[in-house]
Amino acid sequence: MSSVSLTLIGKPGCHLCDDAREVIHGVIADLPSGEPEVGVEERDILQDAELYEKYVEEIPVVLIDGRVHTYWRVDPSRLRTALLEAAS
């Protein structure tokens, strides 16, 4: 089974971050037979000065395997395709 790392960068009280979280978990739940295995990590820009400097104007930011996939809004179809491609 292949695995993919997904990182959601945001901050508390960010409604777009909440929306992104819902989309991410919905897409992962709908992947065929749990493939790929997706490890999800959330990072708070208020707890990390480097992330704050880099992404304060772009949150939420979604990284797939350490690379920026999207920011602000998460498109479910695009995310699903990117996760499947990252696993292949």
Q: For 5-28, what is each residue's pLDDT tens digit?
A: 999 999 999 999 999 999 999 999
Q: What is the pLDDT of residue 1?
A: 56
Cis bond before residue 32 (omega within 30° of 0): no
Residue 2 is predicted with a pLDDT of: 84
> pLDDT per residue over 20-72, tens digit each?
999 999 999 999 876 789 999 999 999 999 999 999 999 999 999 999 999 99
DSSP notation for 24-69: HHHHHHTSGGG-SEEEEEEEEGGG-HHHHHHHTTT-SEEEETTEEE
Per-residue DSSP letter, 8: E
* Encoded tokens for 35: 């493939």
pTM: 0.92
| Residue linked to tokens 């499947």 | 84
Q: pLDDT value at position 32?
A: 84
